[in-house]
Structure 1
Amino acid sequence: MRLKNLLILSVLLLLIQCTEKTSSDYTIEASFASTAPEIDGKANDPIWQQAKPIALKNNRTGMEVQEAELQTHVKAGYDNNTLYFLFVCKDPDIWAKFTQRDEYLWKEEAVEVFIDVDNIPDTYVEIEVSPANILFDSYIVDPENIDVPETAKFNLSGLRTGVTVQGTLNKRDDIDNSWMVEMAIPFKDLANATTERVGPETEIKLNFYRLDKNQGKESASYAWSPTGKSFHKPSVFGKLVFK
């Protein structure tokens, strides 16, 4: 009887973990950068020494990633004109075949940030970066029915990214360590018809993600505020707090 009860409890816990979230109380604190970081994919700028990291979780279960070699952390910074993000991705198998902007990076390995600056939940900016520093940027207007070719026509003109790899990119038979992505996103590039001016005074909602596809392993997806299934669930975006 005790074993049966334990099995029932395990199933119930798994069902709870896999249930899709409908809201989020997550917040990430962006530290003020008195000196703008050099966007080179390195974590040695003063802003990254003071910014607090947040960890991405298993997107399906919402559980913390226990394996040290797979963990992902993100830091946020800003100044009067720009948002800055730093992703640190532990990864034993770093690879990226796409070479052109707006190719479908989510089919390989990538980090992603979705940014919403208005009160219309279905409209937000999507940014993806691969370990080869290839970009995908788009403006989503219908998360349930995304016209990928059309939405990918959107470009953030001032977006800058830098990537460094601690390992050997696209050498699949060795063991890599990690890769880092630095992003600089001008506030003005995030403005839209509803929110014509974006800055530290703007209420910004966002989420961070990572797609990890290691050789011989099941594909994994990670999120700061887990969605359960599709990343495109603006109701569970967290909030950016400006320190």
Structure 2
Amino acid sequence: MLETLPFAPQRVVCYRTASPLVIDGRLDEPAWRATAWSEPFVDIDGVQQPRLATRVKMLWDDRFFYVAAELEEPDVWATLTERDAVIFQDNDFEVFIDPQGDTHAYYELEVNALGTVWDLMLIRPYRDGGPAIHAWDIAGIQAAVQVRGTLNRPGDRDEGWTVEIAMPWSILREAAPGRRPPRDREQWRVNFSRVQWALDVRDGAYVKRRDSPTGKPLPEDNWVWSPQGAINMHMPERWGFVQFSDATAGTKVTPFAEDRNERVKWALRRLYYRQREFNARHGRYAADLAALGAAGIEVEDLEFRPALEVTGSMYEMSAPGFDGATVHIRQDSLVWVTRR
């Protein structure tokens, strides 16, 4: 059940770099050295533990959002060289960004150990009809990889690979609040994922390990920064929070500021999950919150008092939030806040 994993997304403060970074995959600039690594990635389900370590860090300036990742990998392997190929068919590193935090109009980026990029925009999550816009590009993106070992050479043991990415705000602002880069203390929803295939060596080359009865490749592993609670990266409500700070990396510590209305969003999201289940069973949406068990959902430090409006094929649920806010959610997953 999608509600099983407690709502506890990762949170991080992203600091500024005092000077532009050289995107070469080496991560040796002073700004990177002054920036802490994340905790190691966890399995996408939030329960299992990955067999290989992955960690990430972030910086920003007036032109770019910078992301760096370090991936432990004894057998560095990649095959795809064409931009916008389906990169997760290789082992890869992935970035997901929802600037508005409303689960609509978000970005996905994938990079393999050859530095090949696939970027796309989702109008809505796939569960809500998408679509994915594959023609969308992060124009001006820079991505570089350094392999600590050898690429595509079985028989030795590699240490892994690092990837360094610079994504220009001139593109990322397209779906951002006010169509602009973030400001000091603003928060975007972000997550990072790693796809890892089990490999064998055949005729001196790496190949995906296959299931004996079916002959199909074994399912890939998915390791993430902020756990999803399901094998599905396209649940932006589970992504982490990145808070941007005007402080330069290494000069001061900016505290992360929780938005308590995220608690109300999650309570409404639980009702959204239940509406989907109700619709799947009955072919319609519940018109009564009691049918969704709303009385059993609580919000810390607030009385949760949701309201529901239903038409034949749509609904909107809302609830009073903190500090004069009202939080809303509708059947296509969109969540938003109004204030009186």
> Does the aligned pair in 1 maintain the 2:26–2:146 contact within 8 Å?
yes
Q: Report whether the alignment pairs 1:134 with 2:135.
A: no
Contact 2:56 2:69 in 1 (8 A): yes
- On the 8 A contact 2:222/2:231 being kept in 1, the answer is no
Equivalent position of 1:162 in the other structure: 144
Per mean C-alpha deviation after superposition, the further-off stretch among 191-200 and 30-39 is 191-200
Does the 8 Å CA contact 1:105/1:129 hold for their aligned counterparts? Answer: yes
CA distance in 2, matches of 1:168, 1:241: 36
- The answer on whether the counterparts of 1:56 and 1:222 sit within 8 Å (CA) in structure 2 is yes
Instruction: Say whether the 8 Å CA contact 1:56–1:224 is kept in structure 2.
Output: yes
Number of equivalent positions: 222
Distance 1:120 1:22, change over 3 A: farther
Q: Does 2:13 correspond to 1:29?
A: yes
1:103 is aligned to 85
Give the 3-state SS of the residue equivalent to 1:73 in structure 2: strand
CA RMSD of aligned residues (A): 2.2
- The aligned amino acid for 1:197 is R
Q: TM-score, normalised by structure 2?
A: 0.61
Unaligned runs of 5+ in 2: 201-208, 210-217, 246-340
TM-score (norm 1): 0.83
Deviation per residue, 1:29-66 (Å, 9 max, x gap): 2121002221000110111111111121111344444x
- Secondary structure of 1:47's counterpart equals helix
Q: Could you say which residue in structure 2 is the equivalent of 1:240?
A: 242
Aligned equivalents of 1:242 and 1:119: distance in 2? 14
- Percent identical among aligned pairs is 25
CA shift for structure 1 position 86: 0.5
Q: Which runs of at least 4 in structure 1 moved beyond 6 Å after TM superposition?
A: none
| 1:153 is the counterpart of 2:135 | yes
Question: Which string of whole-angstrom CA distances, capped at 9 and with x for unpartnered residues, describes residues 84-106 of structure 1?
Answer: 11000000111111110000011
CA distance in 2, matches of 1:118, 1:199: 10
1:212-223 matches, within 5 Å, as 212-216=196-200, 219-223=220-224
Native 8 Å contact 1:71 1:89 kept in 2 = yes
2:41 aligned residue (53, 56, 59)? 56
> Structure 1 residues 98, 236: CA separation in 2 closer, same or farther (over 3 Å shift)?
same
Deviation at 1:170, TM superposition (A): 1.2
Partner of 1:230: 232
Residues 64, 53 of structure 1: alpha-carbon distance in 2 compared, 3 angstrom cutoff: farther
Asked whether the equivalents of residues 56 and 68 of structure 2 are also in contact (C-alpha less than 8 Å), the reply is: yes
Give the structure, 1 or 2, with the largest relative contact order (CA under 8 Å, sep 6 or more). 1
Q: Write out aligned runs for 1:169-184 (5 A).
A: 169-184=151-166
Give 1:19 deviation, angstroms: 7.0
SS in 2 for 1:192: helix
Q: Does 1:85 align with 2:67?
A: yes
For 1:38 and 1:194, locate their aligned partners in 2 and report how far apart those are by CA, in whole Å: 26
How far is 1:119 from its partner?
4.4
CA contact (8 A) 2:37 2:56 kept: yes
SS in 2 for 1:48: helix
Asked whether the equivalents of residues 9 and 227 of structure 2 are also in contact (C-alpha less than 8 Å), the reply is: no
Cα offset, 1:21, TM superposition? 4.0
Distance, in Å, in 2 between the alignment partners of 1:22 and 1:125 is 25
Partner residue of 1:12?
none
Aligned-partner Cα distance in 2 for 1:183–1:40: 9
1:130 and 1:41 map into 2 onto residues whose CA distance is 13
Q: Which residue of 1 aligns with 2:317?
A: none
C-alpha separation in 1, matches of 2:82 and 2:17: 31
1:29-48 map, 5 Å: 29-48=13-32
